[in-house]
Amino acid sequence: STSWKGTLPGWVAYDLSGISDSQRNKILFAWYNCDTYDYDPTVLNKESYGMPKTYTIEGNTAAGGSTAPTSGWKSLATVTNNVYHSRQHLIDFSGYNWVRINITAANGSNNSYVSINIDIHSAPQGATDSWIFYGDSITAGGMVLHAGNNFAQLINASKSSYYPAAECGGTGAILSSHGVSKID
């Protein structure tokens, strides 16, 4: 329920060195832009706000600590021309201690800033507990990720060993005909 808001270009880094190698050899890096209502605002030509458009997810082998390394970053995933308000990346993180998202461009009415929440999940067996819920405004409002008691938090409260990765794929006012027009 917190967001990082930064000017572009900008980045956020996390030290994962305190997590055992077996729990961080593969990670699921998920980011969410909660300022944009629709999962894909381009479907109905709606506005987005501070949504990452071009970015890399990077790893670094430097020792953990309180200050992120200034060099030695290696690109592990690259995205250009993103239109979605959230994304998940399953990443081979073997040998790395630091992870960061480095954002160089944003979508939105003011594309000089970005606003995201980040979750990093241990995924040694892949994305076995990863969800996306597609639908219309009911899905967009009901599966919102930035409010307390969201899907992942409710699952965790019931089964404390689980905290699923979940994206809200809702787009307000979308109809079945919009989906049909996108399917070849």
pLDDT in tens, 33-52: 988 889 999 988 898 999 99
Per-residue pLDDT at 109: 77
What single string gives the DSSP state of each residue in 119-167? EEEE-TT-STTEEEEEESHHHHHHT-SSSTT-HHHHHHHHSTT---EEE
What is the C-alpha to C-alpha distance for residues 20 and 160, in angstroms, rounded to an integer? 19
pLDDT in tens, 105-135: 999 877 889 999 999 999 999 998 999 998 8
**Amino acid identity at 138:** I
Per-residue pLDDT at 164: 92
Q: Cβ(80)–Cβ(132) under 8 Å?
A: no
Residues sharing a CB contact under 8 Å with residue 21, sequence separation 6 or more, in sequence order: 94
What is the average per-residue pLDDT within 25-30? 97
pLDDT in tens, 132-170: 998 898 888 888 776 677 888 899 999 999 989 999 999
What is the average per-residue pLDDT within 4-26? 95
Per-residue pLDDT at 149: 79
Res. 184: pLDDT tops 70: yes
The residue among 2 and 133 whose pLDDT is bigger is 133
Per-residue b or e along 72-83, where b marks 16 or more CB atoms closer than 10 Å to that residue's CB: ebeebeebeebe
Edge to edge, what strands does the sheet with 86-92 contain? Answer: 4-7, 113-122, 26-32, 86-92
